Amino acid sequence: MPRLFTVVVAAVAVACLSTGAVSAATDPGQPVRSVTEGVRQISSTGDGATREAAIARVLHDNFDLGYMARAALGAHWDEANAQQRARLVAALEASEARAYTERLGMLANYSVTVDRVTARADGGWTVDSSANAAGGMPIKLAWDVRDSGQGPRIVDVKVAGVSLFLTRQSEFNAYIRKTGSIEPLVAALEAKANR
């Protein structure tokens, strides 16, 4: 009987420890904390191409860029062939690294705190946070996070209520309407990424 009790206690302890590990691994606030802390560290140590490459790594590790590309293109995603899709995601990652270097670079002077995590009906989460600088007004950021099988990843950032994803989606759709197909958009993103 004492041996059975020991085995049961050990099993419960392992289950509790495993549950803690799983919940930490699926914490939707974690990619937000990783991005903001990574940007702070990069901004204080790197510059130029080094900074951009480091930010690209932070984006790659914490954003679901494949999902962002599919969602931003909407119905146009189905019009693209596999090669165009792969090129688009690669160009989007590179061009977004440059854009986010500028956008998120401002966070280097701010402390960012996760205020609240709200589960959404679609299975994703909204992570509300505040960026605070000494003597300044806090900036409200809302991060859309989802898990597509890689753990929680960021798919959008809203700064003061303005969605970077919706802005990108609008730009992509306007470009495709203007040019008539997805190939010019892919080429333009590749050119932007290579500047």
Q: Quick: pLDDT tens for 74-92.
A: 889 999 999 999 999 988 8
Residue 98 lies in a domain: yes
For residue 3, being part of any structural domain is answered with no
8 in any annotated domain: no
**Number of domains present in the structure of the chain:** 1
Evaluate if residue 17 carries a pLDDT over 50. Answer: no
Q: Among 66-70, 131-135, 173-177, whose mean pLDDT is lowest?
A: 131-135
Which one of 37-41, 107-111, 169-173 scores highest in mean pLDDT? 169-173
CA dihedral 7, 13, 19, 23 (to 10 degrees): -170
Cβ-contact 191, 96 below 8 angstroms? no
**Average pLDDT of the chain?**
80
Cβ count near 42 (within 10 Å):
22
pTM: 0.78
b/e per residue, 174-194, with b = 16+ CB within 10 A?
Answer: eebeeeeebbebbeebbeebe
CATH number at residue 106: 3.10.450.710
- DSSP secondary structure, 62-87, as one string: HB-HHHHHHHHHTTHHHHS-HHHHHH
Q: Is residue 5 part of a domain?
A: no
In a domain, 123, yes or no: yes
Q: Which is more confidently placed, 193 or 2?
A: 193
Give the whole-angstrom CA distance, residue 69 versus residue 169. 9
Residue 33 forms part of a structural domain: yes
Q: What is the pLDDT of residues 129-158, one digit of tens each?
A: 998 887 888 889 999 999 988 899 999 999
Mean pLDDT of 92-114: 75
Share of the chain above pLDDT 70, in %: 81
User: Which residues sit opposite 146 in a β-bridge?
Assistant: 153
Instruction: Say if 4 falls within a structural domain.
Output: no
Residue percentage of the chain with pLDDT more than 90? 40
Highest-pLDDT range among 26-40, 90-104, 116-130, 158-172: 116-130
77: containing domain: 28-193
So what's the pLDDT on residue 106? Answer: 67
Please check the confidence at residue 49 and state whether its pLDDT lies above 50: yes
Residue 126 lies in a domain: yes
Query: What average pLDDT does this structure show over 37-58?
Result: 78
Distance from C-alpha of 83 to C-alpha of 57, rounded to nearest angstrom = 23
> What is the per-residue pLDDT for 152?
96
